């Protein structure tokens, strides 16, 4: 990308490691995040690989039970806190929010860089815990095991998660202020791209939820270091209080991971159907509804923890309500496709995959919100399959779709379309082969978090491991051709997909200050019908 | 979305005052900074909220133990400290006003008195902690509390130390930020045109104060 004939852009405006590590440009910070979360994705994927290899055979032969506990704990922690939560917001959100609203940068560029450093410091603490013996509490840190009995690196890990949380808080704060105060002239709230609405809702959860995780972890650290007894039953403390505090953040955290993906899908589906989104206002406000309802449903993680039946019924009912705004999105995307001029480019394949897989993940979520069914499948592979359909089938699919869609804007190069379509199909097949058998396993009664299992479950486990290998290949191919495209990919024009949206009206890659002059917006978003 | 290039140049216009490159003018920058601080305070409410929730749960579960344990706190020192902190908030408000009026030395004076009052609060708090240590009221293996409510009283003191400790940490951060503001004031950074940092740090200071206004009755006055 170093050709002399390339016009000045954010990539070639300055050189040297200082110009990257001390940058305040949101686009460069997005790339710092892109590189670091990809590394964490590989580490987390490595743990998943070991888990799947162990489960290939019924006997616990590859690793011991204790090691297995550490593997699933570290897989969960790294994938959730260091990949999924920052993935779309910190990479695509960081890069695109100022571009989509016609601003020169986020409101607080220094804070943006600081949040990357905080993320890295938190990551270093967590990785240090991993290499010095690991942690085995499960990503949920349930008390009193985590506070009293666990012999692994709880303190170091918890500190890492605590620190990373502040990265999330600062990113959310930066986005909210930016969206409120930095929009280009004419860009009213109801003209905003749905990507922006999704990130606004996500940021609200980051800002209001993450501090509760921070205080819960602080209390665990205090309990473990000073034995203050807040969660210790011996002193009249209540371990369930920790679960309440933890899930008050960690259920909404699910929406931190999925809402940005929904924003990406809205952008892709409209572009590749050449149609205005169906029911803009409903799709926009359903993001806020998901964020708001998300704070009221944490009790559905505790149906079998001994909470009162009345609380269980209330939480069950509230959990069903989340299906309404989620359903609105799925139906509206589908209605957008109707009579659209659809093309099946790679980003669209990921987006369509998202819609289908998210629907399966969401509907099985309703099974789990039903009290009686949850008692039966609680802590089985049914739950594992359910949330992987949301997290991997949903969030990761959207992330890959988004990376492909905006790759030309980010790098100035086109990815190879044929390879990308093949990879998208491999991911889809591999994903379903990995996780659909887990629904069956869970329904047949295989519990999660065990390294050995009865022989009758082996068929499904072999299928799942085979699927995971295919899925791994599906993730490897894009990493290779995207790196290849940096040097050999075709040079991208300003707007290779003929897409609407302000980010496509500036050169690829954009200049340092994003636009030559502040754009003025005169239309609603997604005016594909008018301009094709 | 079609956009027509605007005629406004992107370069900083001198007439708009001092502002960072991403903003159009200093008013936009000030609004952004203020909104940012309010959002930060919202996260702080949720952060302390976890502790307040825990306190409420246990207090309703063990009202007698919490009452008895609460009577072991020093009401006189607690009250004096409340007064000191409220006075510091007044001083902070005066500092903001001085900045708005562009009175530099008065601003410096009020920033200093705010920080000093904050330090006095921390000194008194520290004295209380030392007393509790000598009375074996610090949770852990050294904890001694006569009567059947001992374990639950230890819970009360867990909350006492966690909540006041976290509050004290916020005070320390506040004092450090006041020191930075003093240096900036000496460097003649602020005036009627630009004093956003004074206002946002002021918001933070008042917030920390308000937390104490809730902590004081919950911890010291529950059963008196």
Residue A523 has its nearest CB partner, among B2, B40, B46, at B2
Residue B50 has its nearest CB partner, among A182, A208, A216, at A216
Mean pLDDT over each residue of chain A, to the nearest integer: 95
CB B182 within 8 A of CB B108: yes
pLDDT band of residue A5 (cuts 50, 70, 90) is low
Query: What's the pLDDT tens digit per position in A113-163?
Result: 999 999 999 999 999 999 999 999 999 999 999 988 888 899 999 999 999
> Which positions in chain B touch A222 (Cβ < 8 Å)?
158, 162
Sign of CA dihedral A6, A12, A15, A16: negative
pTM over cut 0.90? yes
CB A453 within 8 A of CB A58: yes
Measured distance between the N- and C-terminal CA atoms of chain B, rounded to whole angstroms: 65
> Which positions in chain B touch A521 (Cβ < 8 Å)?
1-3
CB proximity under 8 Å: B 27-56 to A: 28, 31-32, 35-36, 39-40, 42-44, 46-51, 53-54
Alpha-carbon dihedral of residues A318, A138, A211, A83, nearest 10 degrees? -100
Sign of CA dihedral A482, A11, B28, A101: negative
pLDDT band of residue B17 (cuts 50, 70, 90) is low
Nearest CA in chain B to A188: B1
Query: Mean pLDDT across the stretch B87-108?
Result: 96
pLDDT of B183 reads 96
The set of residues, in sequence order, having a beta carbon less than 8 Å from that of B112 and lying 6+ positions away, is B182
> Which positions in chain A touch B7 (Cβ < 8 Å)?
517
Give the tokens for residue B205: 């200071």
Sign of CA dihedral A78, A82, A87, A89: positive
Mean pLDDT over each residue of chain B, to the nearest integer: 90
| Exposure string over A168-180, b if 16+ CB within 10 A, otherwise e | bbbbbbbbbbbbb
Query: What's the pLDDT tens digit per position in A348-380?
Result: 999 999 999 999 999 999 999 999 999 999 999
Query: What's the pLDDT tens digit per position in B25-45?
Result: 889 999 999 999 999 999 999
Query: What's the pLDDT tens digit per position in A16-61?
Result: 999 999 999 999 999 999 999 999 999 999 999 999 999 999 999 9
The span from the CA of A427 to the CA of A468, in Å, is: 9
> Which positions in chain A touch B40 (Cβ < 8 Å)?
173
| Residue recorded with tokens 């969206």 | A179
Q: Apex CA A455: angle with CA A453 and CA A458, to 5°? A: 85
Query: Mean pLDDT across the stretch A477-503?
Result: 96
What domains appear along chain A, each with residue ranges and CATH number?
A: 25-531 (1.20.210.10)
Residue B3 has its nearest CB partner, among A207, A209, A505, at A505
Percent above pLDDT 90 for chain B: 79
With CA atoms as reference, report the closest residue to A483 among A14, A90, A35.
Answer: A35
Query: Mean pLDDT across the stretch A244-272?
Result: 97
pLDDT at residue A532 is higher than 70: no
Helix or strand run (H / E) with residue A336: helix A309-337
With CA atoms as reference, report the closest residue to A506 among B24, B23, B26, B10.
Answer: B10
> Which positions in chain B touch A219 (Cβ < 8 Å)?
50-51, 54, 162
What domains appear along chain B, each with residue ranges and CATH number?
A: 34-220 (1.20.120.80)
Give the tokens for residue B105: 């030395």
| Residue recorded with tokens 């840190």 | A141
CB B90 within 8 A of CB B113: no
The span from the CA of A524 to the CA of A258, in Å, is: 25
Q: Count interface pairs A-B at CB distance under 8 A.
A: 165
pLDDT band of residue A445 (cuts 50, 70, 90) is very high
Percent above pLDDT 90 for chain A: 92
A82-91, A246-255, A304-313, B176-185: which has the minimum mean pLDDT?
A304-313
CB proximity under 8 Å: B 62-121 to A: 62
Nearest CA in chain A to B61: A236
Q: Taking CB atoms and an 8 Å limit, are B22 and A505 in contact across chains?
A: no
pLDDT of B15 reads 38
pLDDT of B14 reads 38
Residue A181 has its nearest CB partner, among B28, B44, B166, at B28
Sign of CA dihedral A466, A374, A355, A27: negative
User: Cis omega (within 30 of 0) on the bond before A144?
Assistant: yes
pLDDT at residue B10 is higher than 70: no
The span from the CA of A509 to the CA of A496, in Å, is: 12
pLDDT of B193 reads 87
Residue A215 has its nearest CB partner, among B20, B50, B155, at B50
Give the tokens for residue A268: 């892709």
The span from the CA of B210 to the CA of B88, in Å, is: 12
For residue B17, give Cα distances in angstroms to A100, A103, A415, B192.
27, 19, 45, 11
pLDDT of A349 reads 98
Query: Mean pLDDT across the stretch A387-391?
Result: 97
The span from the CA of A436 to the CA of A344, in Å, is: 24
pLDDT of B18 reads 73
B97: closest CA of chain A, how far (Å): 25
pLDDT of B8 reads 44
> Within 13 A of B82's CA, how many CA atoms are on the CB side?
17
pLDDT of A529 reads 80
DSSP string covering A426-477:
HHHHHHHHHHHHHHHHHHHTPBSS-S---GGGHHHHHHHHHHHHHHHHHHHH
Q: Taking CB atoms and an 8 Å limit, are A105 and B50 in contact across chains?
A: no
pLDDT band of residue A401 (cuts 50, 70, 90) is very high
With CA atoms as reference, report the closest residue to A389 among A371, A419, A366.
Answer: A366
Q: Taking CB atoms and an 8 Å limit, are B155 and A105 in contact across chains?
A: no
| Residue recorded with tokens 């930066």 | A174
């Amino acid at each position: 990308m170093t050709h002399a004939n390339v016009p000045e852009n954010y990539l070639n405006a300055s050189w040297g490691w200082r110009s990257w590590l001390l940058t305040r440009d949101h686009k460069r910070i997005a790339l710092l995040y892109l590189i670091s979360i990809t590394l964490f994705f590989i580490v987390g994927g490595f743990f998943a690989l070991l888990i799947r290899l162990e489960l290939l055979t019924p006997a616990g032969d590859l690793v011991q039970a204790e090691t297995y506990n550490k593997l699933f704990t570290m897989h969960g922690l790294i994938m959730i806190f260091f990949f999924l939560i920052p993935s779309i917001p910190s990479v695509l959100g960081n890069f695109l929010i100022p571009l989509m609203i016609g601003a020169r940068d986020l409101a607080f560029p220094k804070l943006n860089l600081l949040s990357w450093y905080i993320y890295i410091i938190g990551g270093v603490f967590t990785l240090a815990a991993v290499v010095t013996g690991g942690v085995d509490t499960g990503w949920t840190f349930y008390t009193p095991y985590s506070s009293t009995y666990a012999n692994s690196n709880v303190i170091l890990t918890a500190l890492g998660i605590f620190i990373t949380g502040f990265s999330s808080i600062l990113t959310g704060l930066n986005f909210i202020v930016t969206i409120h105060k930095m929009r280009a002239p004419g860009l009213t709230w109801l003209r905003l791209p749905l990507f922006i609405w999704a990130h606004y809702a996500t940021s609200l959860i980051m800002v209001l939820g993450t501090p509760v995780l921070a205080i819960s972890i602080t209390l665990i650290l205090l309990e473990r270091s000073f034995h203050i007894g807040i969660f210790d039953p011996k002193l009249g403390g209540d371990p369930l209080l920790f679960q309440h505090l933890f899930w008050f953040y960690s259920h909404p955290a699910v929406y931190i991971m999925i809402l940005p993906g929904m924003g990406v899908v809205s952008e892709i589906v409209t572009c590749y159907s050449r149609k205005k989104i169906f029911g803009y206002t409903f799709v926009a406000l359903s993001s806020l509804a998901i964020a708001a309802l998300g704070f009221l449903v944490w009790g559905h993680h505790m149906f079998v923890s001994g909470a009162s039946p009345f609380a269980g019924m209330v939480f069950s009912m509230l959990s069903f309500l989340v299906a309404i705004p989620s359903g609105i999105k799925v139906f509206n995307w589908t209605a957008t496709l109707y009579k659209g001029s659809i093309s099946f480019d790679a980003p669209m394949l990921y987006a369509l995959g998202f819609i289908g897989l998210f629907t399966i993940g969401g509907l099985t979520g309703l099974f789990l919100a039903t009290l009686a069914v949850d008692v039966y499948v609680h802590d089985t592979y049914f739950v594992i399959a359910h949330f992987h359909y949301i997290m991997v089938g949903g969030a990761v699919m959207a992330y890959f779709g988004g990376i492909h869609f905006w790759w030309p804007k980010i790098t100035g190069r086109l990815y190879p379309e044929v390879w990308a379509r093949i990879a998208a199909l491999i991911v889809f097949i591999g994903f379903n082969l990995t996780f659909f058998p887990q629904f069956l396993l869970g329904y047949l009664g295989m519990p999660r978090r065990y390294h050995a299992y009865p022989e009758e479950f082996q068929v499904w486990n072999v299928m799942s491991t085979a699927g995971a290998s295919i899925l791994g290949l599906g993730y490897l191919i894009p990493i290779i051709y995207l790196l290849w495209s940096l040097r050999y990919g075709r040079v991208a024009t300003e707007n290779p997909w003929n897409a609407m949206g302000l980010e496509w009206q500036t050169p690829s890659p954009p200049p340092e200050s994003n636009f030559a002059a502040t754009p003025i917006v005169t239309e609603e978003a997604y005016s594909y019908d008018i301009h094709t | 979305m079609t956009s027509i290039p605007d005629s406004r140049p992107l370069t900083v216009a001198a007439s708009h005052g001092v502002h960072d490159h991403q903003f159009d003018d200093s008013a936009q920058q000030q609004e952004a900074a203020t909104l940012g601080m309010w959002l930060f305070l919202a996260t702080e409410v949720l952060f302390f909220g976890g502790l307040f929730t825990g306190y409420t749960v246990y207090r309703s579960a063990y009202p007698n133990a919490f009452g008895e344990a609460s009577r072991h706190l020093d009401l006189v020192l607690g009250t004096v400290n409340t007064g000191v902190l409220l006075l510091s908030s007044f001083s902070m408000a005066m500092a903001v006003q001085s900045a708005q009026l562009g009175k530099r030395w008065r601003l410096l004076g009020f920033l200093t008195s705010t920080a000093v009052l904050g330090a006095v609060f921390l000194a008194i708090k520290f004295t209380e902690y030392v007393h509790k240590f000598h009375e074996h009221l610090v949770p852990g293996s050294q904890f001694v509390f006569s009567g059947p409510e001992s374990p639950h009283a230890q819970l009360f003191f867990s909350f006492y130390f966690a909540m006041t400790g976290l509050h004290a940490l916020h005070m320390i951060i506040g004092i450090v930020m006041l020191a930075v503001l003093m240096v900036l004031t000496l460097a003649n950074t602020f005036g009627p045109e630009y004093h956003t940092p004074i206002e946002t740090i002021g918001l933070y200071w008042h917030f920390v104060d308000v937390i104490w206004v809730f902590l004081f009755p919950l911890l010291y006055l529950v059963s008196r």
